[in-house]
Amino acid sequence: MQDAKGIIVTPSFGYLNRKIKEGGGTLVSEQHLGQKDTQILRSKVNQVIQGFDKNLVANKHNPVIREKLTSMIRDAVMQEGEKFPSLLRPALESLAEEIQDEILGFGVITKLLDDPEISEVMVLGRRVSLTEKIMVVYYEKDGRVYEADVVPPDEETVYSIIEKIGAPIGRRADESMPMMDARLPDGSRVNAIIPPLALDGPCLTIRKFKKAVDIEHLIHLYKAFTERDAEFMESCVRGRLNIVVSGGTGSGKTTTLNALSSFIPSDERIITIEDAAELQLKQPHVVRLETRPPNMEGKGAITIRDEVRNALRMRPDRIVVGEVRSGEALDMLQAMNTGHDGSLTTGHANSPRDMLARLETMVLMSGMDLPVRAIREQIASAVNLIIQQDRFRDGRRKITQLVAILGIEGDKIITQDLLSYSGRVDALVPAPGRSRFIPVLEKANIPVPSWMEEAI
């Protein structure tokens, strides 16, 4: 290297470390960078790993087996590493971790996925110039997005990660189907989209699904609602009211749905239906269903609508649909109207009124030529309560409205706010006119909360 005056300067160890990392190499020591030796060692270790028991590798998600494989990989690196004097122990430890992440995890994003504070991991292509592009990793923490300080993976590695995620559950992303929805073994939601749809390279988005958050954490730690709100929602679930949780993307709808589902009595038969299984119900009698994408010939797809219709033949006490997006809304409403009270689902909408409009649109997407009034009558008689979940600019997620459906007058669905968010007190407060919902509660034998009867 030369400085501004043309004097040769020996690069610092930190500079070399950075440049090697940028090139995908492994830091070894100040005297021996050993990049060539590292590549040879990695190849030899991979040969050793190929000889591992296939059953062990196939069950790598089992914690006990995972720990055993981790130890085996580290031992293989250390034993082979003794043949390369240029590689010091810290470098061997680092290489062992890299290989463990590749074999047991998902490469450079493994550490991010293992971090409980990170809620989302995103990998995308960034175009540097007309002829050059790089892959970049971002993550979300506390509601804010940061660029990850990791060695950028190449496109081939990202494709490999996508394949590793999709293959175990029969999902794929290729030219015939360049979009993929999948899940990780822990329930984290995965979306992948590749060229030609993604112009700058494969794009991978992983929304980490935290272990089922109990009500106490939502109340006291996340302050999503209060104990009073939780008691009322529990009464509505146990009283078998049909509930829709609405909200925008990433607002916490699934977490709230999980919380509501925990109120379902343990002696009931519950059937859950999802695109990618995320719900984590603790009741003993739960049947979990998941959709299936079409095969390479474009056939064999099983949709949420197919599974909702099938669920009606499975003697459910409750049907819980992860999210209604299309024509399955009609089947869900019909289930709610034909004896399957207490059903729960979520939907994308910015407000409860928008949720009602979206339900109308989704019913029309079923292909049934129904008049608008008939659709609204179905909605008004099926849905009892809409819970609105919002995500604030600072990353907080809160329930901001509880809205009751009181019926239909003319062509208009009648709604009534029960609780509405107040920024002044940072909580839900009782809304005027809430007592109109009391007859519905009494009919369902649900205890009427004191705040609903209080004078305005």
The verdict on residue 20 lying in a domain is no
Residues paired with residue 403 on neighbouring β-strands, in sequence order: 386, 417
Among 186, 207, 228, where does a domain finish?
207
Sign of CA dihedral 408, 411, 417, 421: positive
Tell me, yes or no, whether 444 lies in a domain.
yes
Cα–Cα distance measured from residue 273 to residue 289, given in angstroms and rounded to the nearest whole number: 5
Residue 224 and residue 269 in one domain = yes
Q: Answer yes or no: do 84 and 168 share one domain.
A: no
Is residue 351 domain-shared with residue 374, that is, in the same domain?
yes
Q: What is the CATH number of the domain that holds 421?
A: 3.40.50.300
Q: Do residues 244 and 372 share a domain?
A: yes
Residue 21 in any domain: the answer is no
Q: How far apart are CA 448 and CA 305, in angstroms?
A: 35
Q: What is the CATH number of the domain that holds 162?
A: 3.30.450.90
Q: Are residues 115 and 87 in the same domain?
A: no
Number of domains in the chain: 3
Q: How far apart are CA 239 and CA 225, in angstroms?
A: 20
pLDDT in tens, the chain (456 residues): 444 444 433 344 444 454 444 444 444 443 344 566 777 777 878 788 888 877 777 777 777 888 888 888 888 888 888 887 777 777 788 888 888 888 888 988 999 998 989 999 999 999 888 888 899 999 999 888 999 998 888 899 999 999 999 988 888 898 888 999 988 888 888 999 999 999 999 999 999 876 667 888 899 888 899 999 999 999 999 999 999 999 998 898 998 999 999 999 999 999 999 987 888 899 999 999 999 888 777 788 899 999 999 999 999 999 999 999 999 999 999 999 988 899 999 999 999 999 999 999 999 999 888 999 999 999 999 999 999 999 998 888 999 999 999 999 988 999 999 999 999 999 999 999 999 999 999 999 999 999 998 755
C-alpha 42/C-alpha 36 separation (Å) is 10
Q: Does the N-terminal peptide bond of residue 449 adopt cis geometry, omega within 30 degrees of 0? A: no
* Assigned domain for 31 exists: no
∠ Cα 291 292 295 (to 5°): 165
**What are the φ/ψ torsions at residue 420 (nearest 5 degrees)?**
-135, 145
**Does some domain include residue 28?**
no
84 plus 131 within the same structural domain: no
Dist CA 205 CA 189 (whole Å): 8
Query: Which long-range contacts does 206-212 make (Cβ < 8 Å, 24+ apart)?
Result: 206/109, 206/113, 206/120, 206/121, 206/122, 207/119, 207/120, 207/250, 208/113, 208/118, 208/119, 208/120, 208/121, 209/254, 209/278, 210/116, 210/119, 210/255, 211/186, 211/280, 212/258, 212/262, 212/280, 212/282
Please report whether residue 13 resides in a domain: no
* Confidence (pLDDT) at 297: 77
pLDDT of residue 35: 62
- Coil, strand or helix at 170: coil
Q: What is the pLDDT of residue 211?
A: 67
For residue 333 the two structure tokens come to 């409403």
Contact 276, 189 (CB under 8 A): yes
Residue 219: DSSP 8-state: I
Q: What is the token pair recorded at 329?
A: 């809304």
Which of 104, 122, 142 is the last residue in one of the domains? 104
Within-domain flag for 338: yes
CA–CA gap between residue 149 and residue 73 (Å, rounded): 25
Write down the pLDDT at residue 455: 58
143 and 233 both lie in a single domain: no
DSSP-assigned letter for residue 176: S
Structure tokens at 240: 């078998």
Q: In the listed set 207, 240, 267, which residue is the last one of a domain according to the structure?
A: 207
Residues 6+ away with beta carbon under 8 Å from 456: 432
Q: What is the pTM of this model?
A: 0.76
Q: Which domain holds residue 98?
A: 37-104
pLDDT at residue 46, rounded to an integer: 79
Does 440 lie in the same domain as 369? yes
Q: Which residues, including other chains, have CB under 8 Å from residue 304's CB and lie 6 or more apart? A: 273, 274, 275, 291, 321, 322, 324, 325, 326, 328
For helices 328-337 and 372-382, give the axis angle rounded to 10 degrees: 50
Q: Which of 343, 306, 310, 341 is nearest to 326 (CA)?
A: 306
Which helix (H) or strand (E) segment holds residue 400: the answer is strand 397-409
Q: At a CB cut-off of 8 Å and minimum separation 6, what does 39 contact?
A: none
Tokens of 420: 């509405």
Q: Say yes or no: 62 and 124 in one domain.
A: no
| Domain co-membership, 387 together with 356 | yes
Structure tokens at 242: 């049909």
Same domain, 173 and 222: no
Query: How far apart are the C-alpha atoms of 36 and 163, rounded to whole Å?
Result: 29
**For residue 5, what pLDDT is reported?**
42
> Is 23 within the bounds of a domain?
no
Query: In this structure, are 263 and 228 located in the same domain?
Result: yes
Backbone phi, psi, residue 145, to 5°: -105, 135
What 3-state class would DSSP assign to 5?
Answer: coil
> Which alpha helices (DSSP H) does 82-173 contain, by range?
89-104, 110-114, 155-166
